[in-house]
Amino acid sequence: MLEIRPNCEYCDKDLFPDATDACICTYECTFCRDCVNNILHNVCPNCGGGFSPRPIRPKIAHRDKTSLQYQPASNKRIHTKYSTDDIQKFCKPLINTPAKLR
């Protein structure tokens, strides 16, 4: 089950559980769409994969115990351990390679 992390790992923008601009990679690294598009160029600086929109967990349980009420979003903020220079060096060679070919 997704943690639904509360912030962009790069700029620390709040990404509430219903944020439509939250993006995740296959490891659930979480970044805002602005950072994904303008800084990371759809390259996860942690794994090299691409990003997808993060799903929104329902606020109301439409089925038994399947909502934020029963599986709350994480409140643990995560920050990238890489510097801007490290990220640019890592992402640059992968930018023009489609995520499915990386």
Per residue in 11-67, pLDDT (tens digit) is 999 999 999 999 999 999 999 999 999 999 999 999 999 999 999 999 999 999 999
Distance CA 47, CA 3 (A): 18
pTM, 2 dp: 0.94
What average pLDDT does range 85-97 have in this prediction? 97
Are 62 and 32 contacting, i.e. CB atoms less than 8 angstroms apart? no
Predicted local distance difference test score (pLDDT) of residue 55: 98
The pLDDT of residue 52 is 98
Q: How confident is the model at residue 69 (pLDDT cuts 50, 70, 90)?
A: very high
Q: Quote the pLDDT of residue 42.
A: 98
Q: Tell me, what's the pLDDT at 99? A: 95
Q: What band does 70 get if pLDDT is binned at 50, 70 and 90? A: very high
Specify the length of the chain in residues. 102
- Alpha carbon 50 to its chain centroid, in Å, reads 10
Model pLDDT, residue 73: 98
